[in-house]
Chain A
């Protein structure tokens, strides 16, 4: 006789039926964040640009994307654009995640770039280094390092947010959980499995991020 109404034994026995779905989650998150990093860097530099229209466009981007839900952005990408172009579920999810995270990552980069003391730029310029090169050689390496904790945080958020891709038919963890739940009627068990998978992945990420932070501390102390 079970005291609790669920078949907890189903959790270990069905756990690995979710491996493929977990791999999809990893892929859309990884590619999405990679795209987000590129967009974030461009938009951050845009926001800091002395060319006014460039700064304005970058600000508008952050305003629009950060101010609307990821779910809306996913639906626009997958359903909304169909009248112009049809994008498959997985690319839609990757692009939406990239665009969405790009706005947040832009703000992370902007903050870390601005946190670098202006004396660094002055020292580089006083050697005769052009602005772009000074940014690349002197400011960005230091700014990236400072951005790592926040980027790690954003990566974990992105991983969990990727569950929204289940709504546009990406066969990732959350969708797999819903399908398994409705075919076995073991919703609790299946969503516990989904939860454990997310927890495993975020734990690995936290560990890796922590390792990177420690390694980057070598030259610091200044």
Chain B
């Protein structure tokens, strides 16, 4: 599927001027259809280095699809995606490189069940980056320490709670040294009492300056950690604002409605 595009144009020598102020990730006029259903309508969005952007919106609004289009797990019909000013195209080789820079965390963890926790974390380092096993193991242990699971290194994922699984999944993504982390509803499949431990790990990451694009229903996280909140509705970005503004004085009626539904009645600010 990628070969056709490859032949379209002979590669031009592109000048690669990287503007330090340019957004780290830029999505430009992205359109995505499922059959006749237009799920992403001309979406444009930028994320600066070190920025935490949270995407909120009702289910079916396209927010997960948008995230999945960024690392080409879903292929958009048209539109452009730039990382550090460089256009990402749907070419296998380029994608395999780019995806290493985009850490992805899934709603359902997707840990490899036939591997132990530490093997899960090492897999990308050894098989994709070609690191030596002992070096990878050391780094994996550091990362497990960081997510508070060094004591679980040698168990299989089936022995972990959902929260622990998700923290391993975060460590696995971090093992590739990504430049940005994409979180696709990372706490939606968790029992309520396990949500906190995952959000804590994510908050720590944000504090360390990780660039993050997060799809979530956890408004607490959006309020406290996000630099910018994006509200998506029916395939468009209806509103983009600082969390303060988004949660106190949204511009659109739709946004207000959504926030009312999702937020518990406030007693005090």
Q: Which residues of A contact B (CB under 8 A)?
A: 50, 117, 119-120, 122-131, 133, 137-138, 141-142, 145, 218-222
A120 touches B96 (CB 8 A): no
How many residues of B are in contact with the other chain, CB < 8 A? 34
Q: Report B-chain residues with C-beta under 8 Å of the C-beta of A117.
A: 108, 110
Q: Report B-chain residues with C-beta under 8 Å of the C-beta of A127.
A: 99-100, 123-124, 128, 172-173, 176
A125–B124 Cα gap in the complex (Å)?
10
A142–B173 Cα gap in the complex (Å)?
21
Given A142-B114, A218-B156, CB of A126 within 8 Å of CB of B99: yes
A138 touches B112 (CB 8 A): yes
- 11 inter-chain pairs at a CB distance below 8 angstroms, sorted by A residue, are A119-B108, A123-B110, A123-B111, A123-B112, A126-B73, A128-B96, A128-B97, A128-B99, A128-B176, A137-B123, A138-B112
Within 8 A of A (CB), among B101-129: 102-104, 106, 108, 110-116, 123-124, 127-128
Q: Report A-chain residues with C-beta under 8 Å of the C-beta of B124.
A: 127-129
Instruction: Report the tally of A-B residue pairs with Cβ distances under 8 A.
Output: 76
Least CB distance from B175 to A in Å reads 8
Least CB distance from B43 to A in Å reads 20
Least CB distance from B233 to A in Å reads 26
Q: Report B-chain residues with C-beta under 8 Å of the C-beta of A130.
A: 92, 96
Q: Which of B97, B102, B113 is close to A126, meaning CB atoms less than 8 Å apart?
A: B102
Closest to B99 in A: A128
Q: Which of B98, B102, B114, B169 is close to A145, meaning CB atoms less than 8 Å apart?
A: B114
Given A119-B106, A219-B156, A222-B158, CB of A129 within 8 Å of CB of B128: yes
Judged by a CB distance under 8 angstroms, whether B64 is at the interface is: no
Judged by a CB distance under 8 angstroms, whether B71 is at the interface is: yes
A131–B99 Cα gap in the complex (Å)?
13
A128–B100 Cα gap in the complex (Å)?
5
Q: Report A-chain residues with C-beta under 8 Å of the C-beta of B115.
A: 219
Closest to B182 in A: A126
Least CB distance from B129 to A in Å reads 8
Other A-B contacts than A127-B173, A128-B95, A218-B156, 8 sampled, CB-CB below 8 A, are A122-B110, A126-B73, A128-B176, A133-B127, A137-B127, A138-B112, A222-B113, A222-B158
Closest to A141 in B: B114
Judged by a CB distance under 8 angstroms, whether B250 is at the interface is: no
A133–B104 Cα gap in the complex (Å)?
19
Judged by a CB distance under 8 angstroms, whether B1 is at the interface is: yes
Q: Report A-chain residues with C-beta under 8 Å of the C-beta of B104.
A: 122-123, 126
Judged by a CB distance under 8 angstroms, whether B157 is at the interface is: yes
Q: Report B-chain residues with C-beta under 8 Å of the C-beta of A142.
A: 112-114
Least CB distance from A113 to B in Å reads 14
B106 touches A220 (CB 8 A): no
Q: Report A-chain residues with C-beta under 8 Å of the C-beta of B100.
A: 127-128
Closest to A134 in B: B127
Q: Report B-chain residues with C-beta under 8 Å of the C-beta of A141.
A: 114
Within 8 A of A (CB), among B16-44: none
Closest to B116 in A: A219
